[in-house]
């Protein structure tokens, strides 16, 4: 109790040993609790809600709003209250508590209230102020926090998802979305909300927090709502806007990083490999390919992914980083997905495109250097030596012949290398350098290989070191002209009627040395000759007889006759 009020009260009530000071001339006000924060005080014409206990001087109660279980609501200073109450309530703050002493002439006077208040009764009131508003009040909006970047704000007809705590003006809670563990989801400006909330959400950014104080005539008015919101109650909402969209929204794209060189952009039917982080509009992560250490691989424009992502990946470049904002009607709709994507959620994907291709793509070849006077080029069955560097399109190094200190060796057209590399090595000159882009269907396919991801597009830098002319498929040796007459006799060097392995080898090497024929190119010609001897030594007795020796062309002709 303030000292002045205390002294005044003692003087009015009287103290043992002092005389009665006589009747009161005005209301005695004791402000025994004043809140630290008082945003507004009761003025003439304000509408108020309050609780009270009314007693006589002896403490006998004559009335109480608490006993009725309902607050008192009315307008101050317009004659609807007894004069003493009109005066005693002015200047009060919400949650302020006062003791009021109302003399008879400011109460019910010499008449009193039959059966309740005797004539010339002094009335004692204990009052707590719960609500104050005025018919001229407007919505009170306070921004508590706001994101640094806000590309868009709520407009009428938008669909919003928000969390809220709802209290009366005195702080009494009446509802909370947090207690339901779910956002409140609704359209704005279409009459689904109370008018004050419809207005209070306008202009908000996703992630913004606001305090919205709504006067009763923009809330539930004279009727209140259920047992939690009294009639004529001002409402205070603490709101966090989680996300919003409009049913007319399309996919929103933000190009975060686009490579300076973009020769090709993805279109419907392309197969794309990309990494992504998927978040809700408030930043909550719901999925990430990085956490699985594996790209997401799919065709675009064919309905294998949500429609918004199908649209959002159109036109991407290899290496591009793009943000794709997808409204729920192009994502998972009202039902959401699993326990991480709520119904009607806007989704944000930060995408990094690793590569893409089309199933109809050929090998892409770029000649970096070609020697002058290049007259001889590689063909299938040729034996080639080449250096290479192999990487993914994002620059990830996979393999290099330089790591082994020697060129790679292969006979082209023998399925010893992936088809795309075989094609890329054809029609090259010794010394020529190329860059090859090989789609997965000509590389390692959907399954990939050791160190190569599935469905990966490969980039090869190749340099042809040397080449040796090959022989037709199925041949190990061919003559440059007609084979010698009496071949068996010439091959039987010691004329003993049989040809062992050493004689066979000597003869073949002599033919090669004299330029009369050539072996299938190989890094191990002795093995090729050994395979030739094994093919001719049909009974595998270590020597070739005249009956066993046959040219491949003769064998092929015999097969034709057999088929005929």
Q: Which of 20, 9, 6, 32 is nearest to 101 (CA)?
A: 9
Residues in the chain: 564
Whole-number Å distance between alpha carbons of 434 and 396? 19
Give me the phi and psi of 524, to 5 degrees please.
-140, 80
Q: Mapping DSSP to helix (H, G, I), strand (E, B) and coil, where does residue 412 land?
A: coil
Whole-number Å distance between alpha carbons of 249 and 154? 13
Residues facing 273 on adjacent strands = 297, 355
**Which residues lie below 8 Å from residue 4, measured CB to CB, with a gap of 6+?**
none
Whole-number Å distance between alpha carbons of 238 and 349? 29
Asked if residue 161 lies in contact with residue 185, where contact means CB atoms within 8 angstroms, the answer is yes
Q: β-pairing, 433-438 with 458-468?
A: antiparallel
Give the sign of the dihedral formed by CA 205, CA 208, CA 213, CA 218.
Answer: positive
Q: Is 443 exposed, middle or buried (0-12, 13-18, 19+ CB in 10 A)?
A: buried
Whole-number Å distance between alpha carbons of 89 and 50? 10
Neighbours of 396 (CB within 10 A): 12
Q: What residues act catalytically?
A: 52, 62-63, 82, 108, 125
Asked if residue 439 lies in contact with residue 457, where contact means CB atoms within 8 angstroms, the answer is yes
Whole-number Å distance between alpha carbons of 520 and 406? 21
**Which residues lie below 8 Å from residue 139, measured CB to CB, with a gap of 6+?**
196, 199, 200, 212, 213, 214, 215, 218
Whole-number Å distance between alpha carbons of 438 and 421? 7
User: Which alpha helices (DSSP H) does 319-450 contain, by range?
Assistant: 419-424
Give me the phi and psi of 222, to 5 degrees please.
-70, -25
User: Which alpha helices (DSSP H) does 123-282 contain, by range?
Assistant: 195-200
Q: Mapping DSSP to helix (H, G, I), strand (E, B) and coil, where does residue 85 land?
A: helix
Given the structure tokens 């007319």, which residue do they identify? 248
Whole-number Å distance between alpha carbons of 326 and 347? 5
Give the sign of the dihedral formed by CA 81, CA 86, CA 90, CA 95.
Answer: negative
Whole-number Å distance between alpha carbons of 2 and 36? 15
């Amino acid at each position: 109790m303030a000292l002045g009020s205390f002294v005044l009260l003692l003087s009015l009530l009287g103290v043992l040993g002092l005389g009665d000071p006589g009747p009161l001339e005005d209301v005695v006000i004791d402000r025994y609790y004043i809140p630290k924060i008082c945003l507004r005080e009761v003025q003439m014409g304000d509408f108020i809600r309050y609780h009270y206990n009314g007693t006589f001087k002896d403490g006998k109660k004559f009335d109480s709003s608490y006993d009725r279980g309902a607050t008192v609501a009315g307008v101050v200073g317009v004659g609807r209250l007894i004069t003493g109450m009109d005066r005693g309530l002015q200047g009060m703050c919400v949650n302020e508590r006062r003791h009021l002493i109302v003399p008879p002439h400011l109460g019910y006077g010499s008449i009193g209230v039959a059966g309740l208040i005797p004539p010339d009764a002094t009335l004692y009131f204990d009052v707590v102020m719960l609500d104050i508003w005025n018919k001229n009040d407007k919505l009170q909006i306070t921004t508590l926090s706001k994101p640094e970047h806000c590309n868009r704000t709520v407009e009428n007809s938008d669909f919003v998802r928000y969390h809220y705590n709802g209290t009366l003006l005195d702080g009494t809670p009446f509802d909370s979305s947090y207690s339901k563990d779910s956002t409140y989801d609704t359209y704005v400006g279409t009459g689904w909300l109370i008018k004050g909330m419809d207005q209070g959400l306008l202009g908000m950014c996703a992630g913004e927090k606001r305090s919205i104080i709504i006067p009763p005539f923009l809330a539930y008015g004279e009727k209140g709502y259920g047992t939690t919101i009294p009639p004529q109650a001002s409402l205070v909402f603490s709101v966090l806007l989680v996300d919003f969209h409009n049913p007319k929204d399309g996919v929103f794209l933000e190009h975060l990083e686009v490579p300076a060189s973009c020769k090709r952009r993805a279109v419907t039917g392309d197969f794309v490999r990309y990494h992504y982080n998927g978040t809700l509009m408030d930043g909550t992560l719901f999925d990430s390919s990085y956490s699985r250490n594996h790209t997401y691989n799919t065709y675009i424009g064919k309905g294998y992914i949500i429609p918004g992502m199908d649209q959002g990946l159109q036109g991407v470049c290899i290496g591009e980083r793009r943000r794709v904002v997808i409204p729920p009607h192009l994502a998972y709709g009202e039902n959401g997905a699993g326990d991480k994507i709520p119904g009607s959620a806007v989704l944000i994907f930060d995408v990094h495109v690793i590569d893409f291709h089309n199933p109809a793509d050929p090998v892409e070849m770029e000649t970096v250097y070609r020697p002058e006077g290049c007259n001889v080029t590689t063909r299938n069955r040729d034996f080639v030596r080449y250096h290479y560097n192999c990487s993914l399109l994002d620059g990830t190094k996979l393999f290099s012949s330089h790591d082994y200190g020697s060129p790679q060796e292969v006979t082209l057209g023998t399925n010893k290398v992936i088809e795309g590399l075989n094609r890329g090595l054809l029609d090259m000159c010794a010394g020529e350098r190329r860059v090859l882009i090989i789609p997965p269907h000509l590389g390692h396919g959907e399954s990939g290989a050791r160190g190569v991801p599935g469905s990966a597009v490969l980039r090869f830098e190749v340099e042809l070191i040397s080449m040796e002319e090959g022989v037709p498929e199925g041949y190990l040796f061919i003559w440059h002209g007609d084979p010698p007459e009496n071949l068996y006799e010439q091959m039987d060097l010691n004329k003993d009627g049989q040809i062992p392995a050493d004689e066979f080898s000597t003869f073949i090497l002599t033919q090669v040395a004299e330029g009369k024929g050539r072996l299938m190119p190989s890094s191990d010609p002795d093995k090729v000759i050994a395979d030739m001897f094994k093919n001719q030594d049909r009974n595998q007795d270590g020597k070739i007889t005249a009956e066993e020796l046959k040219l491949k062309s003769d064998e092929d002709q015999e097969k034709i006759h057999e088929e005929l």
